[in-house]
């Protein structure tokens, strides 16, 4: 089966479906660096969220349970291509080697004099820089302690996700998902899943003929009563139908509806 | 255990603290409706993601493992205030009672002629409507099958999250997190002031009753022929009427129209 065909079928089959070559379509994107992550499940979920939104470069600094991690692999499921390429480092400094622009995610911006960006602005900034050939990385702290001040100070800026101040318990994988999502939006590569043809409204005269037909049948049925209210009643009905922006096919269907409803008289006469 | 200590542990030392009064600061927001969710963990994670971004109204349609669900409660942790107020319904229609604007999340937009919105646009639309006093809801399908076509057809539009087409496996809680996140972003901006009195759509159940009435009368008139085409014909008609965003008054008028047209039989009999 050709690669393209295979991709098509998998996607047509539903939502999921990692293609083995899921990375082939990905362009350059930020690296995600998890500093002292604890639970394999969260590493795996982060990998999934990354691949969902077109990122694949994952680096770990001293994962608590070592590496490779079975639970990470299980949770990553179809995103094992991210897990398989994950690199492990002994210090944040080592993990950031070669990076030109680094952002640190924290829920509470520190007193540090770093610029604070919301995820969308952070993604836009990275998109620009990556376009210029820079390597960008986003640091995420472990579940327990978040990022140390020392690690935050390695960054050029802070990404802060605006959460409900009364309940700000985003976990590692959720924070990564949102940054990845904003990256995909900024990157513009994640195609909107839709290929819908937008409905084209029927020509005006078709609509008018439909509406005249409706009014004529309603007249026969004595709908416009009292006569003084006719103009208002007609106008209100027309506005409702106009708002729908009916297509040609829909106008045809509705004329069929009128005919069917009105023709009951014929049926009763027989 | 002190409240503060509990909060700390819930969040695993990480970022901030869940407060018991997490809801006190929340304004009106969309409802999230999970249709036949399977895993309690995902319901709990959805509740957390909602509260993180200032939403609290959660409704379930036929959760597989019944309700309440221990695993949902455990996963929701500090968001138990959402879980405690979660309401359970036996049908999607019942869960949507009172809602004026409904969006369905699906990874693959159907052929239905519903507008397809990315999450940010969906959030902006809901923000406007909620500002006008409308009740908005977002439908999410269960883990296994997503939303049925029938449920999608109850919606006024589709929310589609743009994912990497080669790996589109967002789970329920992740999809909910992203919609909630975009809601928080939209909510944080002042609603664009509208000078117009915009018509407020009829409650969903009114619309459904109108449409059922129409179908019943069309049935009597033998409109749905051949039978094999019925589903399509019904769906197309429904989409056309839904797009109009009919007000309560308009729904009433249209029921009058159906009655008038159909009652001609009675008139002819006289």
Average confidence score pLDDT of chain A: 82
pLDDT above 80: residue A9: no
Size of interface A-B (CB pairs under 8 A): 263
Omega of the bond leading into B116 within 30 degrees of 0 (cis): no
Strands A31-35 and A58-61: parallel
The predicted structure's pLDDT at residue B216: 93
Residues 6+ apart with CB under 8 A from A68: A83
- Using CA atoms, how far apart are residues B259 and A261, in angstroms rounded to an integer? 9
Q: What is the pLDDT of residues A29-51, one digit of tens each?
A: 999 999 999 999 999 999 999 99
Q: Using an 8 Å Cβ cutoff, are A48 and A18 in contact?
A: no
- Give kind and range of the element (H or E) at residue B269: helix B264-269
Q: What is the pLDDT of residues A193-203, one digit of tens each?
A: 433 334 567 87
- Give kind and range of the element (H or E) at residue B141: strand B136-141
The predicted structure's pLDDT at residue B109: 62
The predicted structure's pLDDT at residue B19: 36
Q: How far is B162 from chain A (nearest CA, A)?
A: 5
Contact between B23 and A246 using a beta-carbon 8 Å cutoff: no
pLDDT above 80: residue B176: yes
pLDDT, average across residues A176-189: 91
- Picking from B52, B161, B257, the nearest residue to A218 by CB comes out as B257
Let me know how long chain B is: 270
Contact between B14 and A145 using a beta-carbon 8 Å cutoff: yes
Q: How far is B93 from chain A (nearest CA, A)?
A: 22
- Using CA atoms, how far apart are residues B21 and B240, in angstroms rounded to an integer? 44
**Percent of chain B scoring above 70 in pLDDT:** 82
For residue B191, name the pLDDT band (cuts at 50, 70, 90).
very low
For residue B13, name the pLDDT band (cuts at 50, 70, 90).
very low
Between CA B109 and CA B121, with CA B115 as vertex, the angle to 5 degrees is 100
Most confident of A240-254, B55-69, B188-202: B55-69
Identify from B148, B167, B179 which residue to disrupt to test chain A contact, counting A C-beta atoms within 10 A and taking the largest count.
B167
Q: What is the pLDDT of residues B204-222, one digit of tens each?
A: 889 999 999 999 999 998 8
The predicted structure's pLDDT at residue A208: 86
pLDDT above 90: residue A123: yes
pLDDT, average across residues A202-209: 83
* Lowest-confidence pick of A168-172, A229-233, A242-246: A242-246
Among chain A residues, the shortest Cα distance to B262 is held by A261
Contact between A218 and B243 using a beta-carbon 8 Å cutoff: no
For residue B111, name the pLDDT band (cuts at 50, 70, 90).
low
pLDDT, average across residues A203-230: 89
pLDDT above 90: residue A115: no
Number of neighbouring beta carbons within 10 Å of residue B45: 25
pLDDT, average across residues B129-145: 93
Q: Is the pTM of this model over 0.95?
A: no
- Picking from A16, A190, A256, the nearest residue to B223 by CB comes out as A256
Structure tokens at B165: 């087409």
Query: Is B135 or A266 the better-scoring residue by pLDDT?
Result: B135
For residue B52, name the pLDDT band (cuts at 50, 70, 90).
very high
Closest by CA to A76, choosing from A36, A40, A37, is A40
Query: Is A26 or B248 the better-scoring residue by pLDDT?
Result: B248
A177 vs B contacts (CB less than 8 Å): 174, 177-178
pLDDT above 70: residue B6: no
- Using CA atoms, how far apart are residues B241 and A247, in angstroms rounded to an integer? 12
The predicted structure's pLDDT at residue A197: 38
Q: Using an 8 Å Cβ cutoff, are B270 and A268 in contact?
A: no
- Using CA atoms, how far apart are residues A64 and B206, in angstroms rounded to an integer? 56
Q: What is the largest CA-CA distance in chain B?
A: 80
Q: Using an 8 Å Cβ cutoff, are A152 and A192 in contact?
A: no
SS3 B243: helix
Contact between A19 and B170 using a beta-carbon 8 Å cutoff: no
SS3 A154: coil
SS3 A58: strand
Contact between B164 and A261 using a beta-carbon 8 Å cutoff: no
- Picking from A54, A240, A258, the nearest residue to B244 by CB comes out as A240
Which domains does chain B possess? 3-186 (3.40.1280.10), 195-265 (1.10.8.590)
The predicted structure's pLDDT at residue B140: 97
- Picking from A52, A171, A178, the nearest residue to B167 by CB comes out as A52
Query: Is B156 or B108 the better-scoring residue by pLDDT?
Result: B156
The predicted structure's pLDDT at residue B212: 94
- Using CA atoms, how far apart are residues B236 and B6, in angstroms rounded to an integer? 53
Q: What is the pLDDT of residues A47-106, one digit of tens each?
A: 999 999 999 999 999 999 999 999 999 999 889 899 999 999 999 999 999 999 999 998
Query: Is B262 or B83 the better-scoring residue by pLDDT?
Result: B83
Closest by CA to A166, choosing from B228, B81, B219, is B81
For residue B148, name the pLDDT band (cuts at 50, 70, 90).
very high
**Percent of chain A scoring above 90 in pLDDT:** 52
Number of neighbouring beta carbons within 10 Å of residue B150: 11
Q: What is the pLDDT of residues B91-104, one digit of tens each?
A: 999 999 999 999 99
CA dihedral of residues A209, A211, A217, A223 (deg, nearest 10):
-160
pLDDT, average across residues B32-40: 97
């Amino acid at each position: 089966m050709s690669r393209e065909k295979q991709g098509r079928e998998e996607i047509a089959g539903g939502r999921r479906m990692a293609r083995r070559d899921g990375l082939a379509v990905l362009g350059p994107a930020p690296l995600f660096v998890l500093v002292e992550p604890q639970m394999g499940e969260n590493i795996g979920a982060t990998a999934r969220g990354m691949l969902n939104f077109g990122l694949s470069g994952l680096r770990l600094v001293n994962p608590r349970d070592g590496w490779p991690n079975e639970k990470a692999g299980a949770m990553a499921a179809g995103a094992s291509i991210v897990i398989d390429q994950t690199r492990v480092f002994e210090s944040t400094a080592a993990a950031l080697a070669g990076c030109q622009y680094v952002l640190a995610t924290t829920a509470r911006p520190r007193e540090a004099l770093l610029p604070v960006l919301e995820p969308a602005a952070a993604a836009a900034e990275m998109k620009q820089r990556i376009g210029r050939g820079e390597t960008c990385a986003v640091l995420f702290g472990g579940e327990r302690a978040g990022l140390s001040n020392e690690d935050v100070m390695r960054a050029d800026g802070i990404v802060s996700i605006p959460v409900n101040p009364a309940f700000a318990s985003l976990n590692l994988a959720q924070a990564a998902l949102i940054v990845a999502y904003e990256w995909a939006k900024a990157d513009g590569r994640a195609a909107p899943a839709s290929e819908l043809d937008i409905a084209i409204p029927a020509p005006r005269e078709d609509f008018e003929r439909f509406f005249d037909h409706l009014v004529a049948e309603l007249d026969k049925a004595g709908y416009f009563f009292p006569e003084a209210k006719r103009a208002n009643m007609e106008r209100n009905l027309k506005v409702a139908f106009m708002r729908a922006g009916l297509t040609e096919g829909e106008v045809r269907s509705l004329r069929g509806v009128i005919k069917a409803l009105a023709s009951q008289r014929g049926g009763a006469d027989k």
